[in-house]
């Protein structure tokens, strides 16, 4: 029976996803990350130098359509729209919580005229769904709502109703 779980335990060990032994009031789900070292960055640089990189579009065509509709809506209200924003750039948190949101991106971030985030917009396009998208989106939703920001979803087929969708949040 133990042999069935051995590959899983090895994978968890190698990826650093072992449960923490810390029993504080907030459960630590993963072991603490080690701070980066100059040696680690040198190793990463060596790998990158051997890599092959090509630029690619920031948004696909349907995301671009949503982007321009958001821009038009926001322009009339003295707000700004940014695309493909890391939650780590628009939310602050203690280090334990920050590590869960830092690498997650939102499709669009709407800010006020002072560039303070007021909402994130997730476009649930045809390429958005995969085996972990619901869980990832739940983390994004929870973190942004805790920070008192709107979490707005635009689904395929509702692109022409973006103004109504945004109004339902901003005029509530």
Where exactly are the structural domains of the chain? 61-170
Q: Taking the model in full, what pTM does it have? A: 0.76
Over the stretch 123-142, which tens digit does the pLDDT of each residue have? Answer: 998 766 677 888 999 999 99
The rounded distance, in Å, linking the Cα atoms of 84 and 92 is: 18
Q: According to the model, what pLDDT value does residue 32 have?
A: 62
Q: According to the model, what pLDDT value does residue 19 have?
A: 46
Residues lower than pLDDT 70 in the chain: 1-33, 127-129
Q: According to the model, what pLDDT value does residue 4 have?
A: 56
Q: According to the model, what pLDDT value does residue 117 have?
A: 98
Over the stretch 44-60, which tens digit does the pLDDT of each residue have? Answer: 999 999 999 999 999 99
Distance linking the first and last C-alpha atoms of the chain: 56
Q: According to the model, what pLDDT value does residue 82 have?
A: 98
Residue 60 has which token pair? 């696909």
Which CATH class name applies to 61-170?
alpha beta
Burial class (CB in 10 A: 0-12, 13-18, 19+), 13: exposed
The rounded distance, in Å, linking the Cα atoms of 117 and 133 is: 23
Q: According to the model, what pLDDT value does residue 145 have?
A: 96
Q: According to the model, what pLDDT value does residue 131 have?
A: 76
């Amino acid at each position: 029976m133990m042999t069935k779980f051995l590959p899983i335990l090895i994978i968890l060990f190698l990826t650093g996803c072992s449960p923490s032994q810390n029993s504080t009031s907030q459960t630590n789900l993963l072991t603490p990350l080690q701070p980066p070292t100059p040696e680690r960055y040198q190793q990463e640089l060596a790998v990158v130098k051997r890599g092959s990189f090509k630029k690619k579009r920031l948004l696909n065509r349907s995301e671009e359509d949503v982007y321009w509709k958001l821009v038009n809506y926001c322009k009339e209200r003295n707000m700004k729209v940014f695309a493909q924003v890391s939650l780590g750039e628009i939310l602050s948190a203690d280090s334990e919580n920050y590590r869960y949101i830092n690498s997650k991106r939102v499709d669009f971030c709407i800010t006020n005229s002072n560039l303070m985030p007021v909402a994130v917009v997730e476009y649930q396009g045809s390429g958005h769904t995969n085996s972990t998208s619901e869980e990832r989106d739940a983390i994004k939703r929870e973190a942004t709502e805790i920070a008192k920001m709107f979490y707005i979803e635009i689904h395929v087929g509702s692109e022409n109703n973006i103004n109504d969708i945004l109004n339902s949040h901003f005029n509530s």
